A and B are shown apart, each in its own frame.
Chain A
């Protein structure tokens, strides 16, 4: 393009440049409506979640004056009476605004058991006179519950104060800050273990889909066109069938009174029904079934383009079938294999529905704990931090894949 414009008169070059700008703008205008829509519907929600994982203004909004008064406290012993009086006044206000429950939840996260203490204290202070609190607030607080006399309680309140906090990320990798602000291991190790387990299950599922999918794709790719198209229906039909339908099918099959158990009993192989459902086994089995088409389709697309005469040539020259396959066919089918493996792996890391329905307690994955914190424990900030880590993990995997293999092999059936 540059060489073309060099030979033009200055005016023509300007016109040409203007024309290019116009075309670029024209092309861009076609994309703008979708871009605006997706930024609102999708990008902003993800950004909100990332923000939420470090941002929690609840405590700062509820008891700003108490937090300000706590700033001068050393962190040892009980804070001054002034702080306690201020807190008692805040508690009375929250009891009347019906917001004391929010504070109770926040403190309870750092110090289990504080939820009921906070709520009962708020109830006790609700009808007390303002003047009475101003005079005797500290004593009343200590009388309502002895835990207001413990330094640990006040440290928990102080530490819950900042609007921005890295504590949710620390929690989501099983760490916390101790009294001196050092990062230490938490007593209960949950999340690292769960991430490892999720990765392990995703790896097993990916491995199983390769073992099952590779021979099938190989057979279909080198069968006659009409046979391949006919067999493709049996891959695409499950692919197009609702996820819920396929999970339902596995529940029907694996139940204690289900098809598999009654068949095994009928043949006399087992006497009592096996517990096949609601465990890690059923989760892996159902997910392998659900994700198998994601492995077969890219593999088939790549294998279809491989000339099988290479393999025949190698064998005719004395190679064993296995040797010919591993030296010639496998490297050529690798793009399809890695595309399928990446798809299956990424999809299974973030899977929610199937583990939730057939996973029982030991088949739960990281998505399930995120849903738990969103819906049951209402610890939204922790859910956001766990989700952000999962998102980073997936983006890194995707980036690595794009760099080393390229995403052009990702095609839809």
Chain B
């Protein structure tokens, strides 16, 4: 039994345990839906619930058939390829342009800093449906609707704020006198950027890139408006699957995506620790 200070009332002790129970229940609410779909994706029957066989742990009740279906179905294979192509291309654009801009914004000489920062972060605030409608109107004029180029540009714009935020955070621990030292030794600003700044802020740049990639990888509203049948991505394929013919293949895809997000999460956490160590804060 835990010992409480003498002045604690009954209600305080009740609150102490009540808080624990509440926190546990809320975490359960957060995790349970994600955990439940995992065993269901191995269901041998095309149902969204646990069969009697599954509950009695009968091996016959479990199967890999829905995973096999992902591999066999050309639509899913194309969607997986598209998601990676678009995500990587969009993340590269967002990271390159975003890192450069973040370095400029971190300079004490930067003019109109507040206005420009607000502008660069705005894709994060505007609802996707509005962005999607606007892009549809504007990109049509350049024949970008229904093309990979259009989708990549759109997703790169969405990823930009995340790169700006993460790289700016890393730069706040960056000693600006190193930049000035490089300049005073005769290097051009771009050379200093490449040889001095980039190696030091690399963890921030990589996590910004990962954020941008995940943003594109998960995004479906812009895909619905801007992509043609050839640019279908994984979320787009899931969206139509959920609307048209629901079957556990979607649960198998979902399970794979959860595993992928877990991998991303641990990579980012490792990067954050490394970045904290480099900037001397942790």
- Interfacial residues, chain A to chain B (CB-CB below 8 A): 20, 23-24, 26-31, 33-35, 37-38, 40-49, 52, 212-213, 215-216, 218-220, 231, 233-238, 240-253, 255, 257-259, 261-262, 289, 292-293, 312, 315-316, 318, 320-322, 346, 349-353, 357, 367, 370-371, 374-375, 380, 383-384, 387, 390-391, 394-395, 398, 412
Decide: B19 and A219 in contact? CB cutoff 8 A. Answer: yes
Decide: B30 and A292 in contact? CB cutoff 8 A. Answer: yes
Contact with A along B246-282 (1 / 0, CB 8 A): 1000110010011001101100000000000000000
A-B contact pairs, 16 of them (CB 8 A): A30-B100, A30-B193, A33-B101, A40-B153, A45-B135, A45-B137, A218-B23, A220-B23, A242-B217, A251-B246, A292-B26, A316-B5, A350-B128, A350-B129, A374-B133, A375-B225
Given contacts A249-B36, A250-B33, 14 further A-B pairs with CB under 8 A are: A27-B104, A27-B111, A30-B193, A34-B97, A38-B119, A41-B154, A45-B137, A46-B131, A242-B218, A253-B36, A259-B40, A315-B8, A371-B129, A394-B127
Decide: A238 and B34 in contact? CB cutoff 8 A. Answer: yes
Decide: B262 and A237 in contact? CB cutoff 8 A. Answer: yes
| Interface residue B243 (Cβ < 8 Å from any Cβ of A) | yes
Closest 7 CB pairs of A and B: A350-B127, A30-B104, A45-B134, A49-B134, A27-B107, A219-B23, A249-B33
Decide: A34 and B120 in contact? CB cutoff 8 A. Answer: yes
Q: Given A44-B138, A321-B15, are A259 and B36 also a contact pair (CB < 8 Å)?
A: yes
Best-surrounded residue of A213, A246, A391, A412 (most CB of chain B within 10 A):
A412
- CA of A237 to CA of B265, assembled, Å: 7
Q: Given A24-B110, A49-B137, A252-B36, are A315 and B261 also a contact pair (CB < 8 Å)?
A: no
Best-surrounded residue of A231, A240, A257 (most CB of chain B within 10 A):
A240
Decide: A316 and B7 in contact? CB cutoff 8 A. Answer: yes
Residue numbers in A under 8 Å from B107 (CB-CB) = 23, 26-27, 30
Residue numbers in B under 8 Å from A242 (CB-CB) = 217-218, 235, 254, 257, 261
- CA of A212 to CA of B24, assembled, Å: 11
| Interface residue B67 (Cβ < 8 Å from any Cβ of A) | no
- CA of A49 to CA of B33, assembled, Å: 38
User: Which residues in chain B, 111-150, are within 8 Å of chain A measured between CB atoms?
Assistant: 111, 116, 119-120, 122-123, 125-139
Decide: A33 and B100 in contact? CB cutoff 8 A. Answer: yes
- CA of A235 to CA of B165, assembled, Å: 20
| Interface residue B162 (Cβ < 8 Å from any Cβ of A) | yes
Number of A-B residue pairs having CB atoms within 8 Å of each other in the complex? 275
Decide: A321 and B254 in contact? CB cutoff 8 A. Answer: no
Which of A35, A52, A248, A315 contacts B251 (CB under 8 A)? A248
Decide: A357 and B239 in contact? CB cutoff 8 A. Answer: yes
Decide: A391 and B130 in contact? CB cutoff 8 A. Answer: yes
Decide: A374 and B225 in contact? CB cutoff 8 A. Answer: yes
Residue numbers in B under 8 Å from A391 (CB-CB) = 126-127, 130
Decide: B26 and A212 in contact? CB cutoff 8 A. Answer: yes
Tell me how far the C-beta of B245 lies from the nearest C-beta in chain A, rounded to whole angstroms: 13
- CA of A321 to CA of B30, assembled, Å: 27
- Give the interface size bracket for B toward A: 35 or more
- CA of A245 to CA of B239, assembled, Å: 10
Decide: B239 and A244 in contact? CB cutoff 8 A. Answer: yes
- CA of A261 to CA of B50, assembled, Å: 11
Residue numbers in A under 8 Å from B203 (CB-CB) = none
Decide: B128 and A352 in contact? CB cutoff 8 A. Answer: yes
Decide: B110 and A31 in contact? CB cutoff 8 A. Answer: yes
Decide: A45 and B104 in contact? CB cutoff 8 A. Answer: no
Contact with A along B145-167 (1 / 0, CB 8 A): 00000000110110010100110
Q: Given A35-B116, A49-B137, are A27 and B101 also a contact pair (CB < 8 Å)?
A: no
Tell me how far the C-beta of A49 lies from the nearest C-beta in chain B, rounded to whole angstroms: 4
Decide: A31 and B26 in contact? CB cutoff 8 A. Answer: no
Residue in B closest to A368 when the chains form the complex, CB atoms: B129
| Interface residue B31 (Cβ < 8 Å from any Cβ of A) | yes
Tell me how far the C-beta of A116 lies from the nearest C-beta in chain B, rounded to whole angstroms: 28
Decide: B134 and A27 in contact? CB cutoff 8 A. Answer: no
Decide: B12 and A315 in contact? CB cutoff 8 A. Answer: yes
Q: Given A31-B100, A289-B30, A390-B127, are A252 and B109 also a contact pair (CB < 8 Å)?
A: no
Tell me how far the C-beta of A21 lies from the nearest C-beta in chain B, rounded to whole angstroms: 9
- CA of A246 to CA of B29, assembled, Å: 12
| Interface residue B49 (Cβ < 8 Å from any Cβ of A) | yes
Residue numbers in A under 8 Å from B264 (CB-CB) = 240
Which of A38, A370, A384 contacts B137 (CB under 8 A)? A384
Decide: B129 and A41 in contact? CB cutoff 8 A. Answer: no
Decide: A321 and B119 in contact? CB cutoff 8 A. Answer: no
- CA of A185 to CA of B100, assembled, Å: 52
Decide: A33 and B97 in contact? CB cutoff 8 A. Answer: yes
Residue numbers in B under 8 Å from A383 (CB-CB) = 133
| Interface residue B42 (Cβ < 8 Å from any Cβ of A) | no
| Interface residue B9 (Cβ < 8 Å from any Cβ of A) | yes
Residue numbers in A under 8 Å from B126 (CB-CB) = 46, 350, 391, 394
Residue numbers in A under 8 Å from B221 (CB-CB) = 352-353
- CA of A54 to CA of B251, assembled, Å: 44
Decide: B40 and A27 in contact? CB cutoff 8 A. Answer: no
Tell me how far the C-beta of B149 lies from the nearest C-beta in chain A, rounded to whole angstroms: 11
Decide: A248 and B254 in contact? CB cutoff 8 A. Answer: yes
Residue numbers in A under 8 Å from B258 (CB-CB) = 237, 241, 245
Tell me how far the C-beta of A375 lies from the nearest C-beta in chain B, rounded to whole angstroms: 8
Residue in B closest to A395 when the chains form the complex, CB atoms: B125
Residue in A closest to B152 when the chains form the complex, CB atoms: A41
Residue numbers in B under 8 Å from A318 (CB-CB) = 7
Tell me how far the C-beta of B118 lies from the nearest C-beta in chain A, rounded to whole angstroms: 9
